[in-house]
A and B are shown apart, each in its own frame.
Chain A
Amino acid sequence: MEFDSNRPIYLQIADVICNRILQGELKAEDRIPSVREYGAEIGVNPNTVARTYETLTDKGVIYNKRGIGFFVTEKAAQNIRKEAKEKFLKEDLPNFANKARLLDIDKEEIIRLLF
């Protein structure tokens, strides 16, 4: 797996799993590979994958069934979207607005381009 240069790998792995859930490739109650299996598959230290799973568990995207493994939660897609939306509103949108202002693009023009 190829990684971006400036985002921690464990978060990049989390993004991949979240995208697979959003695209419907992974569904609620699907089992995801163990830390070691997944590490071997993508060539990453199991510790790193363990951190990914910890983060995703905190975010309510996956949960651990003791002794069986990790599974996608019922509300995974919902939780991912909620967080992505917050990030979009807090970071992406202000950046976008800044750039538009910088380039002197007026409101009407943006609305026309977007819708």
Chain B
Amino acid sequence: MIKIGNIDFSYGNVPCLEKISLNLEEGKIYGLLGENGVGKTTLLTLLCGLKKVQSGSIDVDGFSPYDREPDFLASQFYLPDEVSPVNAKAESFAVNSGQFWPGFSIDKFNEIMKVFEMDTEQKMNAMSAGQLKKTWISFALACSTKYLFLDEPTNGLDIPSKAQFRKAIMSFTREDSTIVISTHQVKDLENIIDPIIILDKRDVLLNASVQEITEKFYFDYGTTLNPASLYTEQLPGGFIQVYPNAAGEESKINIEALFNTVHKNKETVKAIFSHE
């Protein structure tokens, strides 16, 4: 369990995260959404101990990430958006670096690479950006860590790799893992991420499961406008609109529409989801 308590972080005198509190539970795949520059990557780098919180605390099973204790580091993996083109063949890179993670398995690495239709004998610095990303994703998953932080993992992946990624993320992670995926590519991951966190400048606008969201909001794909709509977007052949689910009916979540609804109605949404 990760407990983020009232943390602050700024770059020089530019505040980035202010008084952010969040709990991240076991066995869940969190989708971390937010506009450019709200601090998604910063939050991930704080969680994995690359950066230090300026006030407040982060508690990961009793560890404070920035202490960088070996047992803590061995229990987590952070995959940045941009990954380095190591001067080595994929398999030998994995064998060498995998030693730092007790859960790492080279067989698993090779198996995931196969899912991505990748050649493990290829040199990483001779790979395309997408191939390199797939190699790193394979490595991250093969480490079988309790905590996995993925920053824009589907960026640069070609069309077939996106489905392969979805498959891999569920076949090769531990059942008790906490996975946090930051992304703008909501269509790629729409059916994968649950709960959903929406981060805003200095605020967490939403941290709720898909079930909770669809209990509170109704996603209407019809042709008649509802006066209670919090958000409406014209689609070919109708609308997508989001309004409070007064009738208690079930609908299919649309994360893009959810994001825009939350952004247009910050205070309303916070009130709807407040647990107090």
Contact = CB atoms under 8 A, between A and B. Distances in A.
A11 to B, nearest CB: 7
A102 to B, nearest CB: 17
A43 B250 contact: no
A11 B249 CA distance: 13
Interface in B160-188: 163, 166-167, 170-171, 175
Interface string B250-261: 111110000000
Closest 4 CB pairs of A and B: A43-B166, A40-B170, A40-B171, A6-B221
A3 interface: yes
Nearest to B211: A51
Given A45-B193, A51-B211, A6 B170 contact: no
Residue with the highest number of chain A CB atoms closer than 10 Å, among B28, B191, B221:
B191
A3 B167 contact: no
B119 to A, nearest CB: 23
Nearest to B220: A6
A12 B111 CA distance: 30
A43 B210 contact: no
B141 interface: no
A87 interface: no
A25 B221 CA distance: 33
A41 B253 CA distance: 21
B250 A45 contact: no
A48 B250 contact: no
B204 to A, nearest CB: 20
Nearest to A42: B191
Interface string B232-275: 00000000000000000011111000000000000000000000
A48 B166 contact: no
23 contacts: A5-B252, A5-B254, A8-B250, A8-B251, A8-B252, A8-B253, A9-B191, A9-B252, A36-B171, A39-B170, A40-B167, A40-B170, A43-B166, A43-B167, A43-B170, A45-B170, A45-B191, A45-B192, A45-B193, A45-B194, A47-B194, A48-B194, A51-B211
B105 to A, nearest CB: 17
B214 interface: yes
Interface of B: 28-29, 163, 166-167, 170-171, 175, 191-194, 209-211, 214, 219, 221, 250-254
B192 A43 contact: yes
A32 interface: no
Nearest to A34: B175
Contact of B191 (A4, A36, A41, A48): A48
A11 B192 contact: no
Nearest to B162: A43
Contacts of B253: 8
A104 B6 CA distance: 66
Contacts of B170: 36, 39-40, 43, 45-46
